[in-house]
């Protein structure tokens, strides 16, 4: 069929033509946002899942839902390069300006802008970069301690939103990259908002180690947030993700073909999109049979290697890549000792690589002492690429 019209969308955060299997999670989040809008206390949400399961897509969908319900949203993506304060400052400026445009008294909004100015000075951001031409006013959010300053700032944001009968939804992607201090500050700030029942909800997403990281940073984080897991799709959801876009063009996908896609993709959303994309380009008739699956398999694997897997290796050293290759040779629950054995080296010499791969988010520890890839099916890729 016409590639120009191809609705499938393998990519990062790109909305799929059919957002399958996430109904319950979206409903839970909708209630959370609704409660925040009504000034009722609500837990936050920290979603966790492997690479390519659709976390960013869900955050984007929640942002859309929140705005539809009348809330204002802030979206930041944590990276190893920038601080949370930097990411938040310019977004918050925009938020205060939006609040300012809403009719009615704006005392809290004006106060909020001054507090933002204080915060920017206190965390040593360049005011010029944010473009906020206001004099600081000593006293709030200017201690230089991010934990208390961020809590002060968020409180002012929430009060300004309340003044305008609005709620704020803060969405944070890749939360596992936040340094401990910033993650702690975020949790503490949310804790304060929750105690004061202010209209401010926080939803984050990150790799599976996030739940443990949050708990270690602040023990009360366990009660403050829900931790839904974003997993691979079930067979039924995979069927929906593949069938629906074809059905809207009058093309039927045979059950055996769906079963094959499920078997190959294991229900991982990114892989499903790549399969759908290649099938669409290949199919000529009004029916997708098992023959088409066989015809596109090589192309799908090639595209996944080039676009999904290879990109993950770019920031790694040769030693780190070896470690991952060693892991790919192990089966079952993987321990460092297994990796050492597979590579013919010793555990002590691998500990630095293990630590840096954990920090880079390439691997995580599903249980004490065990290791796993954060990228689904990465082991097969490593073995394929070293043949």
Q: Return the number of the residue (225 or 270) whose C-beta is nearest Mg ion.
A: 270
Residues 242, 235: Cα–Cα separation, whole Å: 11
Q: Return the number of the residue (218 or 260) whose C-beta is nearest ligand ATP.
A: 260
Helix-then-strand count for the chain, H and E: 18, 10
Residue 21 binding target from Mg ion, ligand ATP, none, CB below 5 to 8 Å by type: ligand ATP
Q: Is 47 helix (H, G, I), strand (E, B) or coil?
A: strand
Strand partners, 206: 48
CB of 184 to ligand ATP, least distance (A): 23
CB of 384 to Mg ion, least distance (A): 24
The CB-side HSE value for 289 (13 A sphere, CA atoms) comes to: 5
Task: Return residues touching ligand ATP (CB under 6 A).
Answer: 9-14, 16, 19-22, 49, 51-57, 241, 269-270, 272-273
CB of 26 to ligand ATP, least distance (A): 10
Residue 184 binding target from Mg ion, ligand ATP, none, CB below 5 to 8 Å by type: none
Residues 267, 356: Cα–Cα separation, whole Å: 29
CB of 20 to ligand ATP, least distance (A): 4
| Nearest residue to ligand ATP on Cβ basis | 54
Residues 6+ positions from 317 with CB-CB distance below 8 Å: 353, 356
Asked whether position 56 contacts Mg ion by CB under 5 A, the answer is yes
CB of 52 to Mg ion, least distance (A): 8
Residue 309 binding target from Mg ion, ligand ATP, none, CB below 5 to 8 Å by type: none
Q: Return the number of the residue (55 or 260) whose C-beta is nearest Mg ion.
A: 55
Residue 269 binding target from ligand ATP, Mg ion, none, CB below 5 to 8 Å by type: ligand ATP
Residue holding tokens 């939804």?
169
Residue 16 binding target from Mg ion, ligand ATP, none, CB below 5 to 8 Å by type: ligand ATP
Residue 273 binding target from Mg ion, ligand ATP, none, CB below 5 to 8 Å by type: ligand ATP
CB of 315 to Mg ion, least distance (A): 16
Buried b (16+ CB within 10 A) or exposed e, 306-342: eebbeebeeebeeebbbbbbbbbbbeeebebebbbeb
Helix (H) or strand (E) holding 303: helix 290-303
Residues 191, 125: Cα–Cα separation, whole Å: 25
Asked whether position 240 contacts Mg ion by CB under 5 A, the answer is no
Other C-beta atoms within 10 Å of 26: how many? Answer: 14
Residue 54 binding target from ligand ATP, Mg ion, none, CB below 5 to 8 Å by type: ligand ATP
Q: Is 48 helix (H, G, I), strand (E, B) or coil?
A: strand
CB of 8 to Mg ion, least distance (A): 18
The interface region with Mg ion, picked from 48-56, 103-111, 214-222, 309-317 by CB under 5 A, is: 48-56
CB of 59 to Mg ion, least distance (A): 8
Residue holding tokens 């996944």?
304
Q: Is 293 helix (H, G, I), strand (E, B) or coil?
A: helix
Residue 296 binding target from ligand ATP, Mg ion, none, CB below 5 to 8 Å by type: none
Residues 71, 93: Cα–Cα separation, whole Å: 16
Residues 12, 52: Cα–Cα separation, whole Å: 7
Q: Return the number of the residue (55 or 239) whose C-beta is nearest Mg ion.
A: 55
The interface region with Mg ion, picked from 52-60, 158-166, 271-279, 321-329 by CB under 5 A, is: 52-60
Phi, psi of 43 (to 5 degrees): -70, 160
Q: Return the number of the residue (55 or 117) whose C-beta is nearest Mg ion.
A: 55
Q: How far is CA 127 from the centre of its chain?
A: 29
Judged by the rule CB under 5 A, the positions of this chain that interact with Mg ion are 55-56
């Amino acid at each position: 069929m016409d590639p120009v019209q191809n609705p499938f969308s393998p990519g990062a955060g790109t909305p799929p033509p059919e957002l399958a299997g996430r109904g319950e999670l979206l409903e839970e989040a909708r209630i959370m946002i609704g409660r925040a809008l009504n000034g009722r206390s609500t837990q936050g949400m920290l979603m966790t899942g492997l690479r390519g399961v659709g976390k960013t897509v869900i955050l984007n969908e929640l942002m859309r839902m929140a705005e539809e319900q009348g809330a204002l949203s802030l979206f930041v993506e944590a990276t190893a390069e920038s601080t949370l304060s930097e990411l938040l400052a310019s977004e918050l400026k925009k938020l205060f300006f939006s609040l300012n445009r809403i009719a009615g008294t704006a005392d809290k909004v004006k106060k909020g802008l001054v507090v933002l100015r204080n915060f920017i000075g206190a965390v040593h951001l360049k005011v010029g970069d944010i473009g906020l031409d206001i004099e600081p006013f000593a006293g709030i959010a200017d201690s230089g301690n991010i934990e208390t300053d961020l809590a002060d700032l968020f409180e002012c944001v929430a009060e300004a939103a309340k003044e305008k009968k609005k709620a704020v939804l803060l969405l944070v992607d890749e939360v596992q990259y936040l340094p401990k201090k910033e993650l702690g500050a975020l949790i503490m700030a949310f804790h304060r908002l929750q105690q004061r029942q202010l209209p401010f909800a926080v939803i984050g997403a990150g790799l599976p180690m996030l739940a443990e990281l949050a708990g270690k940073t602040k023990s009360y984080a366990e009660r403050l947030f829900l931790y839904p897991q974003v997993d691979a799709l079930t067979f039924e959801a995979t069927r929906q993700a593949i069938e629906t876009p074809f059905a809207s063009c009058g093309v039927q996908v045979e059950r055996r073909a769906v079963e094959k896609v499920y078997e190959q993709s294991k229900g991982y959303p990114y892989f499903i999109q790549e399969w759908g994309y290649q099938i669409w380009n290949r199919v000529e008739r009004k029916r997708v049979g098992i023959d088409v699956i066989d015809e596109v398999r090589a192309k799908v694997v090639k595209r996944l290697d080039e676009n999904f897997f290879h990109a993950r290796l770019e920031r790694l050293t040769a030693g780190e890549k070896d470690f991952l290759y060693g892991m790919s040779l192990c089966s079952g629950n993987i321990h460092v000792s297994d990796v050492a054995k597979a590579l013919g080296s010793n555990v002590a010499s691998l500990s630095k690589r293990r630590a840096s791969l954990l920090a880079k988010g390439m691997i995580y520890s599903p249980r004490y002492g065990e290791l796993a890839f954060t990228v689904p099916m990465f082991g097969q890729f490593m073995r394929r690429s070293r043949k």
